[in-house]
Amino acid sequence: MCGIAGVCHSDDAKGDPRLLRKMISLVRHRGPDDSGVYSDHGIGLAHARLSIIDLSTGQQPMHNEDRSLWITFNGEIFNYVELRQELLQSGHRFATQSDTEVILHLYEEEGEDCVRMMNGQWGFALWDSRQRKLFLSRDRLGVRPLFYASVGNDLVFGSEIKSILAHPGVPRELDLVGLDQVFTFWCTVPPRTIFRGIHELPPGHSLTFKDGELTLHRYWQLDFDASAGNGTSEQEHAERLQDLLLDATRIRLRSDVPVGAYLSGGLDSTIITALINRVSTTSLRTFSIGFSAKELDESTFQREAIAFLNTAHSQISCDYPDIARTFPEVIWHTEKPVIRAAPVPMFLLSKLVWDAGFKVVLTGEGADEVFGGYDIYKEAKIRRFWAEQPESKHRSRLLRRLYPYQSKLQQQSDVYLQSFFRARPEDLESPFFSHLPRWDLTSRLKVFFSEDVRTALGDYDCQLELASCLPPTFSRWDGFSQAQYLETTFLLPGYILSSQGDRVGMAHSVEARHPFLDYRIVELGARMPPHLKMKVLNEKYILKRAFGHLLPPAVLNRPKQPYRAPDGKSFFARTTPEYVHELLSPETVKADGVFDFASVNRLVDKFKTGRAIGVKDDMALVGILSTQILLRQFIEEFELGGLSCGKLTMSCAAS
């Protein structure tokens, strides 16, 4: 795993090594082992290396035999062994043992279609000097990041936005539409980012840049076809899943350094850990987070899993002040506002992994998206079922089955519960039926936007924009598949795999690999009937059916609990860090101009006086504070190169 950056000129100008070194130095955390720069007429490529495969000869940027192709590559091609074998048979000669070189030869053979044959997680830039063409590509699900911006007639790109902002021609401005999207969907809709003029290459896309012209090309599309599995029995589905997930896990253990695993005590990571045990002979090291807040802590289940699977385990404990202390540094890595503080513990966890001498971990990420584990699917199913017979008392009583871990919701009377979850008649026709409650709730945070921001946004409707991104077949899918598509296509890459994944892992040079996000598994899931994913209200049924025998009963039979972390309260629990006072003060908020200072002041007051008990207040505080930090770090004080985040963190320690 690594970091990449570069500039492609539309003319014959030579890549500026000094600029390239500056750009790549900002993502040094992604690859502290080595760095390299390649510069020629028309191109400059830079690379920061985290050595995982072929430790001795895998340096980058790397070229092919005749130096006509150059690549800077972030990621892993897990099927590189098989691809290499095929390429050797076709007469290709390799100078290294790395997966990077496989991409070069595969490109020679297949051109831009090479990515269709790759099974992995990547963001890379390949310079084809003969055609004078730059080829950028990102993996299907968006595990690895890749951003770009047009500067004059040139293209600037990088694994992280900070490398792009280091280019003197790139303006540093907040994109207000991006902000509106984050305060609705929790993430931006690619190619838009939170910074004006800086774009995210959408997952499953490639980009070519030639003669100053930029072309975006989708090479993979998640497509649901629940009827495809009609002739297949439940047993056959389970067996196919067993075989594929074992293989997905096996190829993700390919590494020349030791591989560990995240073990949360939930179903998904326990399945992956059990599968690793089946294909690996060495003893496995696992890692987890524990919370001092009991309602969030899963240590009991972690202990069950550790004992059952016999792993050597390390746990990091996370308390409210840890969140407040670390938050500014985390935002330096997420590069976008967050609505929840949940990325912070993941950041602390990757430090634990790195300190233990590990660079690679396998995780259970993706299972909830692919096999219907999230509460949002259950909620949508119950709401739709109830809406079909709105007078049914029996159906409305099912609402009690939702969010059993949210005590405040459970305290509500039946009548109020029904009011919260009742579907409006027009909602039933919406392509976003499943996600409307979440988006409506998050959108209410926009009450904090300043008049200037509201005026600038005018009547912009981010749901309309999202609707225009849906595939033509979307309207033909069942509701469950539609919900899965929305979750997998937008929130997964935009938040789960980025703010809570790659960015906080790579902050400590830790690469995560996700067997459930092997595209073969994702496609298998998309062809499975919904009732195998959620049987009545039993989520991830097929996973339990296929892998239950590998799990401790306590984990198999436990109620589903999503990963959550302490939110707004963290910043006011005991002491409030100085940076929080400063960034949320009426003077600062007014000067920054994004939020209404009087409203923010009322919110802060609610927290100070212990009156903030709702999820909306929590999301508002985390969203506003992270935006304020972002403004400080990336727009006002960017030349400090992240040092302002150090300053903020230190002000926290001193308070």
Partner 1 sequence: MRQIDHELRRFVVDNFLYGRDNGFSDDDSMLGMGIIDSTGTLELVSFLEKKYDIVVEDSDLLPQNLDSVARLTQFTRRKLEQKQATGECSARREPVHSE
Q: Using CB under 8 A as the criterion, which residues of the chain lie in contact with partner 1 when the complex forms? A: 408-409, 411-413, 415-416, 419-420, 440-441, 444, 447-448, 596, 598-600, 602-603, 606, 611, 613-616
Beta strands 198-200 and 154-158: pairing type? unpaired
Strand residue runs (E) in 170-273: 198-200, 205-210, 213-218, 259-262
CB of 397 to partner 1, least distance (A): 17
Of 406 and 538, nearer to partner 1 (C-beta) is 406
Own/partner long-range contacts of 170-176 (Cβ < 8 Å, ≥24 apart):
170/197, 170/198, 171/196, 171/197, 172/634, 172/635, 172/638, 173/197, 173/635, 174/594, 174/630, 174/631, 174/635, 176/453, 176/456, 176/457
Of 443 and 538, nearer to partner 1 (C-beta) is 443
Largest distance between two CA atoms of the chain: 73
CB of 482 to partner 1, least distance (A): 23
Q: Spell out the residues 6+ positions from residue 316 whose beta carbon is closer than 8 angstroms to its own.
A: 287, 288, 289, 290, 345, 348, 349, 351, 352
Strand residue runs (E) in 280-406: 285-291, 312-318, 360-362
Contact of 26 with 333, CB cutoff 8 Å: no
- The whole-angstrom separation of Cα 431 and Cα 384 is 13
CB of 450 to partner 1, least distance (A): 11
Of 581 and 616, nearer to partner 1 (C-beta) is 616
Of 73 and 597, nearer to partner 1 (C-beta) is 597
Own/partner long-range contacts of 31-39 (Cβ < 8 Å, ≥24 apart):
31/1, 31/2, 31/3, 31/509, 32/509, 34/59, 36/60, 36/61, 37/61, 38/63, 38/70, 38/72, 39/14, 39/15
Of 105 and 606, nearer to partner 1 (C-beta) is 606
- The whole-angstrom separation of Cα 507 and Cα 352 is 12
Contact of 126 with 104, CB cutoff 8 Å: yes
**Number of other residues whose CB lies within 10 A of the CB of residue 426:** 8
- The whole-angstrom separation of Cα 463 and Cα 189 is 10
Taken in order 366, 370, 371, 373, the sign of the CA dihedral is positive
Beta strands 538-539 and 534-535: pairing type? antiparallel
Of 313 and 438, nearer to partner 1 (C-beta) is 438
Give me the helix-helix angle, 176-185 and 436-443, nearest 10°: 130
CB of 408 to partner 1, least distance (A): 5
Amino acid at 237: H
CB of 431 to partner 1, least distance (A): 21
What is the H or E stretch that residue 470 is in?
none
CB of 413 to partner 1, least distance (A): 4
Question: Catalytic annotation on 469?
Answer: no
* Closest among 252, 5, 254, 255 to 124, alpha carbons compared: 5
CB of 584 to partner 1, least distance (A): 13
Which of 2, 462, 645, 652 is flagged as catalytic? 2
Of 342 and 603, nearer to partner 1 (C-beta) is 603
CA distances from 494 to 70, 118, 313, 421 (A): 29, 22, 30, 26
Of 230 and 413, nearer to partner 1 (C-beta) is 413
Contact of 493 with 142, CB cutoff 8 Å: yes
- The whole-angstrom separation of Cα 25 and Cα 21 is 6
Contact of 349 with 565, CB cutoff 8 Å: no
Q: Residue 174 has what DSSP assignment?
A: B
CB of 575 to partner 1, least distance (A): 24
Of 236 and 414, nearer to partner 1 (C-beta) is 414
Strand residue runs (E) in 278-374: 285-291, 312-318, 360-362
Of 182 and 402, nearer to partner 1 (C-beta) is 402
Q: Spell out the residues 6+ positions from residue 18 whose beta carbon is closer than 8 angstroms to its own.
A: none
Backbone angles phi, psi at 320, to 5 degrees: -50, -50
Beta strands 360-362 and 511-513: pairing type? parallel
CB of 569 to partner 1, least distance (A): 13
CB of 328 to partner 1, least distance (A): 24
Question: How far from each other are the two terminal CA atoms of the chain, in whole angstroms?
Answer: 37
CB of 602 to partner 1, least distance (A): 5
* Catalytically annotated residues: 2
